[in-house]
Amino acid sequence: MGLKVLGIETSCDETAVGVVEDGRHLRSNIIASQVELHARYGGVVPEVASRQHIRDIVPVVERAVSECGLTLDQVDVVAVTYGPGLGGSLITGLNTAKALAYALGVPLVGVNHLEGHIYAAWLSQQLPDEDPGFPLACLLASGGHTDLILMEGHGVYKLLGRTRDDAAGEAFDKAARILSLSFPGGPEIQRVSQGAAGEEHLPRAWMKGTLDFSFSGVKTALLHMAQAKGVYPSGPGDPRPAEFDHLVREMASAFQESLVDVMTVKLLEAADRYHARGLILGGGVAANTWLRREITRLSPLPVIIPPPVLCTDNGAMIAACAYYKYQSGQEEGLALDIDPGLSLG
Ligand code: KG4
Ligand code: ZN
């Protein structure tokens, strides 16, 4: 049997634990989602999230281990996200990981959540470092980040571009609110966009000459469009009139197209400029079907995109990333602390 890493992820609103063998073989991936808990507030409430992590973490660890036919004492390394994220959420995962590593007498490895999203790509069919090989151009798009990153080797990153305002996932979530769709907004926008005729168009912020993004303008443009068409604001508690369904579908689709278009063009430009050998997509927004399709369709290079369940937050990606860190000699002491503002590159 190979090296079994248990990965713990509690940076936001998923209590997630996965077991990965040798950095590539997914043995288990258990996710206790808090989506329904936060949906009524239209976004993640940090206080509610941290309390729920405390309730869920032990059963989720137990399930992740038992699901792959192991017992805790067969875990070789414990890995955990220590940032970026919500402080109160991160600390539950970190303290659990420390307690486990100490009790089992195994190494503890701290992982940057963003790096974890990139390493989800190592859980697919191929190992990106071997096929197509470094450097890899990565688009990391989640609720908190939209970064273009050049990965030059394991643990070696160059930040090429980032959002100057909203993250793509955040923009999807806000757009959904404008259109009276539920939280999280990304999957909802994708769902209602299906079958749209392409009747509406929203602007794109190209941020010419840079590899940066800006999504707040298109969000405002959507708001103005929704106001002009009478879709926003919706009456308190009113069910939406049926004739609005068509309008919402067209507006959601125009919004999705605008974001997907910009992210696709910028990722391909980054890959070209920095002579990447392949592309990686990661983060919750990489679960978007339209984004996955467009990048795969237009890229002259191999594109590696994890299955949707490994794009959104999960513990397996943390375990996969920790395997490579451990191989290169990284190991933390029990003094490891959370770092809510941690960045990459
Ligand atoms: O990576 P993630 O699970 O958590 C963070 O680290 O933020 O990303 C969550 C974000 C949310 O904003 C959600 O709306 C977005 O990812 N998302 C999507 C889709 N699925 C999740 N956005 C667009 N299309 C999707 N299918
Ligand atoms: Zn994430």
* Per-residue pLDDT reduced to its tens digit, 175-229: 999 999 999 999 999 999 999 999 999 999 999 999 999 999 999 999 999 999 9
Instruction: Please indicate whether residue 84, judged by its CB atom, sits closer than 6 Å to ligand 1.
Output: no
Give me the mean pLDDT over the 266-281 stretch: 98
Give me the mean pLDDT over the 169-173 stretch: 97
Residue 238 has pLDDT above 70, yes or no: no
Residue 43 within any structural domain of the chain: yes
**Measured in angstroms, how far is the CA atom of residue 328 from the centroid of ligand 1?**
31
Residue 333 within any structural domain of the chain: no
Give me the mean pLDDT over the 311-338 stretch: 97
Instruction: Please indicate whether residue 172, judged by its CB atom, sits closer than 6 Å to ligand 1.
Output: yes
**Measured in angstroms, how far is the CA atom of residue 281 from the centroid of ligand 2?**
12
Q: Are residues 162 and 111 in the same domain?
A: no
Which ligand has the shortest distance to the CA of 44? 1
The reported pLDDT for the residue numbered 1 is 83
Q: Are residues 155 and 42 in the same domain?
A: no
Residue 124 within any structural domain of the chain: no
- Give the Cα separation of 123 and 255 in Å (integer): 31
The domain of 15 spans 4-119+309-327
More confident residue, 241 or 204: 204
Number of structural domains (the chain) is 2
**Measured in angstroms, how far is the CA atom of residue 225 from the centroid of ligand 2?**
30
Residue 260 within any structural domain of the chain: yes
Residue 340 within any structural domain of the chain: no
- Give the Cα separation of 79 and 339 in Å (integer): 15
Ligand 1 atom closest to Cα of residue 313: 3
Instruction: Please indicate whether residue 21, judged by its CB atom, sits closer than 6 Å to ligand 1.
Output: no
Instruction: Please indicate whether residue 314, judged by its CB atom, sits closer than 6 Å to ligand 1.
Output: no
Residue 134 has pLDDT above 80, yes or no: yes
Whose CA is closest to atom 8 on ligand 1?
Answer: 284
Confidence band, pLDDT 50/70/90 cuts, at residue 249: very high
Ligand 1 atom closest to Cα of residue 283: 1
Q: Are residues 203 and 143 in the same domain?
A: yes
Q: Are residues 277 and 163 in the same domain?
A: yes
Q: Are residues 315 and 294 in the same domain?
A: no
**Measured in angstroms, how far is the CA atom of residue 169 from the centroid of ligand 2?**
10
- Give the Cα separation of 92 and 11 in Å (integer): 9
Residue 299 has pLDDT above 80, yes or no: yes
* Per-residue pLDDT reduced to its tens digit, 95-104: 999 999 999 9
CATH number for the domain spanning 21: value is: 3.30.420.40
Instruction: Please indicate whether residue 85, judged by its CB atom, sits closer than 6 Å to ligand 1.
Output: no
* Per-residue pLDDT reduced to its tens digit, 3-30: 999 999 999 999 999 999 999 999 999 9
Instruction: Please indicate whether residue 186, judged by its CB atom, sits closer than 6 Å to ligand 1.
Output: yes
Q: Are residues 241 and 209 in the same domain?
A: yes
Instruction: Please indicate whether residue 188, judged by its CB atom, sits closer than 6 Å to ligand 1.
Output: no
The reported pLDDT for the residue numbered 239 is 66
Q: Are residues 156 and 205 in the same domain?
A: yes
Which ligand has the shortest distance to the CA of 38? 1
Give me the mean pLDDT over the 122-144 stretch: 96
Residue 240 has pLDDT above 80, yes or no: no
Ligand 1 atom closest to Cα of residue 287: 26
Q: Are residues 161 and 300 in the same domain?
A: yes
Q: What percent of the chain has pLDDT over 70?
A: 99
Residue 342 within any structural domain of the chain: no
Q: Determine the residue of 285, 292, 309, 310 to mutate for testing ligand 1's pocket, defined as the one with the most ligand atoms within 8 A of the Cβ atom.
A: 285
The reported pLDDT for the residue numbered 314 is 98
Instruction: Please indicate whether residue 29, judged by its CB atom, sits closer than 6 Å to ligand 1.
Output: no
Ligand 1 atom closest to Cα of residue 117: 1
Burial code (b: 16+ CB inside 10 Å, e: under 16) for 30-56 equals bbbbbeeebeeeebbbbeebbbbbbeb
Whose CA is closest to atom 26 on ligand 1?
Answer: 288
Look at 84-88, 117-121, 123-127, 233-237 and tell me which has the smallest mean pLDDT.
233-237
Ligand 1 atom closest to Cα of residue 183: 14
* Per-residue pLDDT reduced to its tens digit, 40-78: 998 999 999 999 999 999 999 999 999 999 999 999 999
- Give the Cα separation of 288 and 62 in Å (integer): 31
Q: Are residues 45 and 165 in the same domain?
A: no
- Give the Cα separation of 114 and 197 in Å (integer): 35
The reported pLDDT for the residue numbered 237 is 63
Residue 341 within any structural domain of the chain: no
Instruction: Please indicate whether residue 332, judged by its CB atom, sits closer than 6 Å to ligand 1.
Output: no
User: What's the order of all strands across the beta sheet hosting 146-153?
Assistant: 156-162, 146-153, 136-141, 278-282, 303-304
The DSSP output letter for 240 is: P
Place of tokens 């073989």: 25
Q: Are residues 148 and 292 in the same domain?
A: yes
Q: Are residues 92 and 168 in the same domain?
A: no
Peptide bond into 59 cis (omega under 30): no
Residue 334 within any structural domain of the chain: no
Confidence band, pLDDT 50/70/90 cuts, at residue 116: very high
Q: Model pTM?
A: 0.96
**Measured in angstroms, how far is the CA atom of residue 283 from the centroid of ligand 1?**
7
Q: Are residues 191 and 281 in the same domain?
A: yes
Which ligand has the shortest distance to the CA of 144? 1
- Give the Cα separation of 215 and 204 in Å (integer): 8
